[in-house]
Structure 1
Amino acid sequence: MAFNDDEQSAPVANNNGGTTTRPPGITGVPVGQVQLTKYHNAEAPLDPNDQEVLLELKGTSSATSRAALDLIAVLDVSTSMAGDKLDRMKAALLFVIRKLADVDRLSIVTFSNDAARLCPLRFVAGDAARADLGALVDGLAADGNTNIRAGLEIGLAVAAGRRLTAGRAVNVMLMSDGQQNRGDAMRLDPGGVPVHTFGLGADHDPAVLQAIAGKSREGMFHYVADGVNLTAPFSQLLGGLLTIIAQDLELTVTRVDGEAAIKKVDAGTYPQAAAADGSSVTVQFGTLYSAEVRRVLVYLALEDSTAFPPYDAEVVEAQFRYSLQGATVASNPDPVSIRRSGSAPEPSEEAPARKPEVETEMARRRHAESIREARSMADGKELERARTRLVEAQNALEDVLDQANPMVDMLREELLQLLRLMETQEAYERAGRAYAVSSLASHDRQRFAARGDAEGVRLFATPRMDAYLEQARRFDEDPGVAALPSAEEDVRQEVAANPLAPVAGQIAFYVRSAIQALQAIDKIFASVAAATSTSTSTST
């Protein structure tokens, strides 16, 4: 099965006879789209000791540049979707159609007993294109059983056969409420395409849908509870996909010989590649949304430096690179410097406190592991043990240094919801397992996932997602076109609210590059001065 008939160019005229325009946020120089911040202790003893370094990559505004989107919607239209579920899915897809910009393309695939591609990838440019796509959605009818594999096969075939690929982001969005005939769907190879899955209601199998999403590159599983409108969860995915400011993002951490060894790099479930000699580790993240964050914990073993006087030690270097619109950007190597002085504390002495940012991130990861353990216990019908584990996780949050961090409150809310959904085995089977699976997917990818609804726990949500959530609420109340701003208007509103946002990242990039160049020059002069001093002493 192969498709190679997607639309190659947007219509040249709109309904008013004018030419279509490329909206803000599509073109621009992709420099400074990503910023790196380092958190670590400023000092460490000269004795051998362990240190943690938190590296934080954050996406800047998408108002200057973002990747055009190719979205393939793969939709369950089996008998179990008949009635209210189908109506809610149609409404959510209409929201998606109205929010896509004229450089974005959409393909719609449906599945029940078999699967059908309703349209190839086509540009969502102008009212006529939106009306045509809307008519396809309005005509959806439910019939037959759920065959997830059939739908996913065609969706991935559309992705594999697409043309006009340079700089575009292809994503598959799969929605299902059933679990019949889905057994071997997990065996399909996504081929590097992100597959974002939405499990609707109590009858879907969250383990299967998460396995599909998890096997794909950076895909996410979203759980949507019975009775919840799909517009809000769909809007959150779209709020990310329409603000992709970096593709093929990767971070490399390299040790400085003689100073430190890399014990571990913790980046969740993102793939890593380590050098054969252990000198470096590269983490591959894929895409990054505007204002989205990726935090990486690097565990170091500092070498014995007791033979030296106190000095500033560069222990590791961090460097990231990414692409956008066919251009590649690489940062300069950014060293992590720690002052080495004094002796390690005695066993009876209290260890130096970590940076609050490091401590909070370590606590979040322990929190996620607690949920993983509790889920395993609940799957084994050991609900009391599972609930005890969650209570222990609640108590552990009280020890987090930065209690003012909004994330801490969201972690507490997540645990409260899980405790409620693990009160009985029936409650866990109906909704608790899906909630736990979506929570773990979110923590592992450091990306927003709906947990029952899109409003309760907002971990990893971005400002555009927050804006789209409010728009989704209004759209569900009144689907009128006038009530929903376009993606172009979203960008203009963001620029009006913060006029410097489109250039702030670029300015920061060039300033940092200049500082690093000056620091490099300073090192050269210091090295020359030291060599000259040594030569003079020898001559004397």
Structure 2
Amino acid sequence: MGSKWRKMKKALGLNLCTYLPRTLEEPPSSCLNSAEKLSDAALLSPVNWPMTPTPSSYGLRLSRNSSKSSKTCSICLTKMKEGGGHAIFTAECSHSFHFHCIASNVKHGNQVCPVCRSKWKDIPMQHPMLDLPVLFDRSHNDAAINLARRLHPPRRVMNQGHAPQIQASEPSMFNDDEQLEQLPVIPGKSSSSNDVSDNNRPVRMMDIKIHPEVSAVPRAQSCGNFDVLVHLKAAATVAGHAVSENNQISQYPRAPVDLVTVLDISGSMAGTKLALLKRAMGFVIQNLGSNDRLSVIAFSSTARRLFPLTRMSDTGRQQALQAVNSLVANGGTNIAEGLRKGTKVMEDRREKNPVSSIILLSDGRDTYTMNQPEPNYKLLLPLSMHSNDNKRFQIPVHSFGFGSDHDASLMHSVSEISGGTFSFIESEAVIQDALAQCIGGLLSVAVQELRLEIDGVCPDVRLGSIKAGSYSSVVLDDGRSGIIDVGDLYADEERDFLVSINIPAENAGSETPLLKLRCVYKGPLTKEIVTLESHVLKIQRPEKVGPEVVSIEVDRQRNRFLAAEAMAQARTSAEQGDLSTAASILENCRRVLSETAAAKSRDRFCAALDAELKEMQERMTSRHVYEASGRAYILSGLSSHSWQRATARGGDSIDVSSLVQAYQTPSMAEMLRRSQAMFLGSPSNHRLIQPLLSFTSEPKPR
């Protein structure tokens, strides 16, 4: 021991401290005490996920064995025991770290203290010739390099299986994704509306309902802009099985997911934010299945891939946790580069799981690419992820902006372009809940590439318009038919569209046939194309009609579109600096909604819309308030309503205790429950529990 100690002191005298950090491919060093090694179960336990780094003790020392000194490394959050066989680096700012922890950190370009953010002059870094961590300043020389070679000859790194690897240099092609396991074959063949679910066929995964705004129109009267509500609902699931409308259960395992998370680790994420982000990613990793694959992109001034698309087996989970836990906040915010690498992982992969998605999380603004007066947000995504005539269904980017400094316009635009949602996390404490809700949906995709075809039945019926929010829709030139591209639906997820038609006058007859619908979709696992046809919608044509009551279902969706339109107009006025006009637009919309049939019937959906619009008004009281939270709150609301999908939003003025979320599916709610139960199980985190706010309403009667 004395001989080794003298060599180490000599190395320090040459400003050279040698230690070869363990990579993810290597087993733990045998010199570690068994008490310091975590089992697989411990690594997956929330107790061992990282929390806020704490400053270590002061002083520069490389000590002999001693039982009196015990400090905490601010990077790996484990004890730094003197005499434990590890060099301790104490920076000029007086914060201490394991040398191998800080050397690995600096190797990836971080040159400031992870704790106090001060910039270092003398830093531990990787020597380009030796691939050894060196405490490098101007005085290092060949003699020191030779000494380092003698003390620690280079070691080969063995790759064990398909575990994720933190790579010093990235390949030019991200085609090193882990091979997929063979999924069980589910027999099935194309289905039509006449199919009946039985033991030989998969359960029908879609249901269609049609609601006219009124049930009868006088025979001699013609109607323009007559609204018809089209309601679609994907089948529910129970423990991975599909459940049809008549409660028949069939074996139907969920579709596995390829997920890429693009994480902001810029300097502003230091401290509690990064700790909570790591904890949230730990929750995501823990809840992915062995057939799901994950890759993580971390970005600050630059971006790097932590590991390839890797199956979340026991080994994959453990090493993904280790990779995420090693992240340190530093540098600027280059969202564009993070997205570029995230999409490249998806584009270059050799194999594809049935469901693919990207999650983007940031608390800042892109200071590298989007710094023009009028930035073109489409440049942030490659053309392969833009909607066009040849590619109707893209890989969605679900973005999460939190805090008062994130670029809500950028993140909302990225999600809108790709078909994803934008969530505003006002309190960083609910990062995990927000991600849990999103993951709950992605892990329950029931149908894919859903396309709704609308055909007029009566020769004189013409389609006027289709209100479909952000979904691509078109009315064909002859006005006889229309198409809506819906894409993926989660289990138990619903979609509502309003189709405006004209109804001709009738000379005779007791009813007029109006529309017929056809759904075409793909099963995520079977890949079979399924066609489902509705009944023909007919309307009664008596000589006279008494007082008609407008359908609450139709009126509810009218109100949703009115509110979304008011939000968009208010946002435009606010961006132009006219906050008073923006607030007036929202107030006028609230007044109009209060006079509708749904509001007068005390429809809770309408009441929640009113509360949401009121919340937006209050976030426009000043320019400062709007910049800090108003813009993000409105954009998150627009994203939720236009895609009819649950998003997380800040604020606490909407009472969620007695209302349920309009777009939240049971799978989302279950994953959210798991997230909150995990926090409740940790006594130190009770104060972090806050409700995850989203648009709320009662369950819609059908």
Tell me the TM-score range normalised by the shorter chain: 0.7 to 0.9
Q: Which residue of structure 2 aligns with residue 313 of structure 1?
A: 512
More helix by share: 1
Would you say the 8 A contact 1:236–1:454 is kept in 2? no
Residue of structure 1 aligned with 2:209, choices 37, 47, 54: 37
SS of residue matched to 1:91: helix
- Give matches, 1:189-338, under 5 Å: 189=382, 190-191=385-386, 192-216=394-418, 218-305=419-506, 307=507, 309-324=508-523, 325=525, 326-338=527-539
1:399-453 CA-to-partner distances (Å, cap 9, x unmatched) read 2333443322321221232122112221111000100011011111111111126
Q: Which residue of structure 2 aligns with residue 122 of structure 1?
A: 310
Change in Cα spacing, 1:230 to 1:291, as seen in structure 2 (3 Å) is: same
Distance 2:474 2:576 in 1: 34
- Give matches, 1:105-184, under 5 Å: 105-125=293-313, 127-165=314-352, 168-179=354-365, 180-183=367-370
1:121-156 CA-to-partner distances (Å, cap 9, x unmatched) read 11112x322111111111111111111111111111
Distance 1:474 1:333 in 2: 42
Q: Which residue of structure 2 aligns with residue 365 of structure 1?
A: 561
Change in Cα spacing, 1:185 to 1:80, as seen in structure 2 (3 Å) is: farther
Change in Cα spacing, 1:468 to 1:405, as seen in structure 2 (3 Å) is: farther
TM-score (norm: length of structure 1): 0.80
Would you say the 8 A contact 1:91–1:476 is kept in 2? no
1:311-361 CA-to-partner distances (Å, cap 9, x unmatched) read 222111111111122122110243111112326x8xxxx974321110111
Q: Which residue of structure 2 aligns with residue 6 of structure 1?
A: 177
Residue of structure 1 aligned with 2:618, choices 397, 417, 420: 420
Would you say the 8 A contact 2:466–2:474 is kept in 1? no
Change in Cα spacing, 1:280 to 1:355, as seen in structure 2 (3 Å) is: same
Residue of structure 2 aligned with 1:83, choices 271, 276, 282: 271
Gaps of 5+ in 1: 13-20, 481-540
Q: Which residue of structure 2 aligns with residue 534 of structure 1?
A: none
| Equivalent residues, number | 457
SS of residue matched to 2:429: coil
SS of residue matched to 1:423: coil
Q: Which residue of structure 1 aligns with residue 627 of structure 2?
A: 429
Distance 1:453 1:151 in 2: 29
SS of residue matched to 1:122: strand
Distance 1:455 1:99 in 2: 31
Distance 1:358 1:245 in 2: 26
Which is further off, 325-334 or 436-445?
Answer: 325-334
Q: Which residue of structure 2 aligns with residue 510 of structure 1?
A: none
Q: Which residue of structure 2 aligns with residue 393 of structure 1?
A: 589
Amino acid at match of 1:59: A
Per-residue deviation, 1:238 = 0.7
Distance 2:201 2:336 in 1: 40
Change in Cα spacing, 1:39 to 1:333, as seen in structure 2 (3 Å) is: closer
Distance 1:358 1:431 in 2: 32
Distance 1:409 1:164 in 2: 47
Distance 1:197 1:148 in 2: 11
Distance 2:673 2:369 in 1: 34
Distance 2:475 2:617 in 1: 39
Residue of structure 2 aligned with 1:186, choices 378, 385, 389: 378
Q: Which residue of structure 2 aligns with residue 520 of structure 1?
A: none
Per-residue deviation, 1:30 = 5.0
Would you say the 8 A contact 2:358–2:398 is kept in 1? yes
Gaps of 5+ in 2: 1-171, 187-199, 242-251, 371-375, 387-393, 684-702
1:231-279 CA-to-partner distances (Å, cap 9, x unmatched) read 0110111111111101101111111242410001111110124333222
Amino acid at match of 1:448: A
SS of residue matched to 1:193: coil
Distance 2:652 2:294 in 1: 23
Distance 2:202 2:340 in 1: 34
Amino acid at match of 2:357: N
Distance 1:145 1:185 in 2: 19
Amino acid at match of 2:513: E
Distance 1:340 1:57 in 2: 27
Change in Cα spacing, 1:388 to 1:185, as seen in structure 2 (3 Å) is: closer
Q: From the CA coordinates, give the structure whose radius of gyration is larger.
A: 2
Would you say the 8 A contact 2:550–2:597 is kept in 1? no
- Give matches, 1:31-70, under 5 Å: 31-40=203-212, 41-46=214-219, 47-50=221-224, 51-62=226-237, 63-64=240-241, 65=252, 66-70=254-258
Would you say the 8 A contact 2:377–2:413 is kept in 1? no
Distance 1:357 1:143 in 2: 51
Amino acid at match of 1:213: S
Q: Which residue of structure 2 aligns with residue 71 of structure 1?
A: 259
Would you say the 8 A contact 1:315–1:338 is kept in 2? yes
Change in Cα spacing, 1:335 to 1:112, as seen in structure 2 (3 Å) is: same
Would you say the 8 A contact 1:31–1:329 is kept in 2? no
Would you say the 8 A contact 1:319–1:334 is kept in 2? no
Would you say the 8 A contact 2:291–2:312 is kept in 1? yes
Per-residue deviation, 1:199 = 0.9
Is 1:375 the counterpart of 2:584? The answer is: no
SS of residue matched to 1:230: helix
Distance 2:640 2:369 in 1: 23
Q: Give RMSD over aligned pairs.
A: 2.4
SS of residue matched to 2:621: coil
Distance 1:231 1:479 in 2: 14
- Give matches, 1:420-499, under 5 Å: 420-452=618-650, 458-478=661-681
Distance 1:405 1:2 in 2: 54
Distance 2:624 2:666 in 1: 36
Amino acid at match of 1:91: R
Distance 1:120 1:136 in 2: 11
Amino acid at match of 2:173: A
TM-score (norm: length of structure 2): 0.62
Change in Cα spacing, 1:353 to 1:115, as seen in structure 2 (3 Å) is: same
SS of residue matched to 2:301: coil
Per-residue deviation, 1:162 = 2.2
Amino acid at match of 1:5: D
SS of residue matched to 2:596: coil
Change in Cα spacing, 1:29 to 1:111, as seen in structure 2 (3 Å) is: farther
Percent of aligned pairs sharing the same letter: 30
Would you say the 8 A contact 2:276–2:428 is kept in 1? no
Distance 1:453 1:143 in 2: 29
Per-residue deviation, 1:185 = 5.4
1:41-79 CA-to-partner distances (Å, cap 9, x unmatched) read 221222221321100001121332332111110111111
Q: Which residue of structure 1 aligns with residue 54 of structure 2?
A: none
Per-residue deviation, 1:454 = 10
Amino acid at match of 2:174: F
Change in Cα spacing, 1:276 to 1:30, as seen in structure 2 (3 Å) is: farther
Would you say the 8 A contact 1:264–1:299 is kept in 2? yes
Which is further off, 231-240 or 406-415?
Answer: 406-415
1:267-299 CA-to-partner distances (Å, cap 9, x unmatched) read 111012433322211101111011211101010
Per-residue deviation, 1:479 = 6.3
